[in-house]
Structure 1
Amino acid sequence: MRAIQITEFGGPEVLVPTELPDPVPGEGEVLLEVSRAGINYADTHNAENSYLAPASLPLVPGNEVVGTTPDGRRLVSMLNAGGYAERAAAPLAMSFEVPDGVDDLTALGLVVQGTTAWLLLRTAAHLEPGESVLVHAAAGGVGTLAVQLAKAMGAGRVIASASTQDKRDLALSLGADAAIDPAEEDLVGAIRAANGGKRVDVVLEMTGGRVTDQSIAALAPLGRLAFFGMASREQPKPVKLPSLLSHSTTVSGLWLPHAFGKPGLMQRAVDELMAAALEGSLKVVGGGEYALADARTAHEDLRARRTVGKLLLDPTR
């Protein structure tokens, strides 16, 4: 089969098209003929071995695929690796049936980025109706869905943060009430101004560095920041517990694989998201398709922040 293989860690240049034997499913796995693979920002960390879970070589990257089983079932699956290929061995415990009427883009957009947005709001930030929410990287795969979900969950005001005017306009079109540039020198002031002069109740943050630091500083009393990535690859300042105490604020983290350890949680998230997509109240924003041979270009575009929404890899090209 055709696949992308990494034999040394590094940047986008290490993603090399190659021919490999078909994967052999083990116990509890099923072979999928991949129609599309999802591309996530975490894949860029895997390529350089800077992700939370250490990788080993050789590596076929890619942690999500949608495809068909030998008996004709259509599944969307999360993988430990192996998604950038024509075929993948998918763990049944991390696979979900794709309802009729849900296309590949929507299925892939919901299984990782949609569930991440849902879990951030439901379990990490514990969003309450009427609260204000700041979504960083609001034009990205998680961000575009988080903006819509926050509104659907009753947020009083949703503020989007994105690096260009086009991206901010996209977030506004998805229901955000205001949009700001995270590069503002006084980001705390920009956040408060977008929230009617008030501090913000909930922040979803995946940038790192000064954006994290100033977002924590912008939290209202009893506010919560949910941290789920570090796209800038810059460490935030250490959080001092007495500061959290004096401001009654919470900083939490979310790594999606941990959700599989709580029985039924991922299935509940997927069911709710698929139902919302089918009824038309939740839209996955497509960010473009890349041929398998162009995986390197996809990673270059991601790292340069040239993309929006959900990116797909087409293994047939």
Structure 2
Amino acid sequence: MKAILVTELGGPETMKYAEVEMPSMSPTQVLIRVEMTSVNYADIKSRYGKKGAAKLPFIPGLDATGVIEQVGEEVQSLKVGQRVIAFPANGSYAEYIVADESLTFVLPDQISTETAAACPVVSFTSYQLLAKVARIAKGETVLIHAAAGGIGTTAIQLAKLLGAGRVIGTVGNGAKAEIALSAGADHVICNDREDFVERVRALTDGAGADVILDSISGTVSERSLECLAWYGRLVHFGNASGEIGQIKTIDLHASCRSVLGFSFGTTRKLRPHLLQDTAKQVLDYLANGQLDIKIGKHFALEEAANAHAWVESRASTGKVLLDVRS
């Protein structure tokens, strides 16, 4: 089969379109003929050697959509011919993948191939953050950092669907503000000209946000506590800044604030059963048209290097997809 291989750590040019062996399948896995896969920023970080510890050469990619071609003898809930999304065992930039039954989810007919390819990481992560980790309650104020990104725009929509009374987003500059506003944010703070702590306090009459989603870390995490409401939950799920943040425990106990951590990768690996309800809820929202995943450029599988370069240029808006269909 054809696949993309990262042959050495470095830039997009390290990815090669090559012939590789078909993946082997365990009794609890399914073989999927891939139709489309997506480019996640984690793929780029892994290509540079900054995420994971895959041995070279490796196939990048976290998620894919396609059709089941074969099922393992112990698989009970899936069958040949079903359209699915899946989180594969060993990369998704390939014509075929294998995935555990617990990480393969049947698609409703109403969901297009493009939406299916774009949705898994951003929608599953956003739902887990809000519904399961932060335990959002009706009427609460939610602050979402990096609100113009894939998870940001998805989390804005899901926060509203889950009952948030107000959603505030932060973005790097004014050019990104419209993206967050179009996703449904009530207010957007531009970090290049506003102090987010002061602005959140002003918007909430000094109370602060009940839920804060932080993928940036460092000083952003530290300062987020300054605008977190009593009984509020700061959910830390990324380290985009590369900085190490310091949190004073004295800031937590008297105010009943919580700082929570979440990794979608860890959850897939150690507690995949936690994703079953998430998949049902997210796929229902998508099938009913309540949730929209913004889709950007399409590239052919053999153009994966160009797709990575496009994402790294920061010029992309919407989810970048790789079309594996011949």
- Residue number among 114, 117, 124 corresponding to 1:115 in the alignment: 124
Farther-moved stretch of structure 1 (306-315 vs 183-192): 183-192
* Contact 1:2–1:315, Cα closer than 8 Å, also in 2: no
- DSSP 3-state at the match of 2:21: coil
Farther-moved stretch of structure 1 (1-10 vs 241-250): 241-250
* Contact 2:216–2:238, Cα closer than 8 Å, also in 1: yes
Gaps of 5+ in 2: 70-79
Q: After TM superposition, list the pairs within 5 Å mapping 1:212-251 onto structure 2.
A: 212-232=221-241, 234-251=242-259
Farther-moved stretch of structure 1 (268-277 vs 161-170): 161-170
Change (3 A) 1:235 1:31: same
Farther-moved stretch of structure 1 (129-138 vs 104-113): 104-113
CA positional deviation for 1:197: 4.7
Q: What letter is aligned with 1:255?
A: S
Deviations along 1:152-193, one digit per CA (max 9) or x if unpaired, are 111111012223434321221222101112344633123333
Q: What letter is aligned with 2:160?
A: K
Deviations along 1:130-169, one digit per CA (max 9) or x if unpaired, are 1110112222221111101101111111012223434321
1: CA distance, partners of 2:145 / 2:156 = 10
Change (3 A) 1:236 1:300: farther
Change (3 A) 1:73 1:295: same
Root mean square deviation of aligned Cα: 2.2
Name the residue aligned to 1:5. 5
Farther-moved stretch of structure 1 (274-283 vs 291-300): 291-300
Q: What letter is aligned with 2:59?
A: V
Q: Identity rate of aligned residues, in percent?
A: 36
Name the residue aligned to 2:75. none
Name the residue aligned to 1:199. 208
Gaps of 5+ in 1: none
2: CA distance, partners of 1:305 / 1:194 = 30
CA positional deviation for 1:107: 2.0
2: CA distance, partners of 1:65 / 1:9 = 23
2: CA distance, partners of 1:37 / 1:102 = 15
Name the residue aligned to 1:186. 195
| TM-score w.r.t. length of structure 2 | 0.88
Question: What stretches of structure 1 move > 6 A for 4+ residues in a row?
Answer: none
Deviations along 1:185-231, one digit per CA (max 9) or x if unpaired, are 63312333344554211111112233223223221222211111122
Change (3 A) 1:182 1:293: farther
* Contact 2:173–2:192, Cα closer than 8 Å, also in 1: no
1: CA distance, partners of 2:33 / 2:24 = 12
* Contact 1:30–1:90, Cα closer than 8 Å, also in 2: yes
| TM-score w.r.t. length of structure 1 | 0.91
Q: What letter is aligned with 2:66?
A: G
* Contact 1:110–1:274, Cα closer than 8 Å, also in 2: no
CA positional deviation for 1:119: 0.7
2: CA distance, partners of 1:161 / 1:228 = 16
1: CA distance, partners of 2:128 / 2:165 = 19
Q: How many residues align?
A: 315
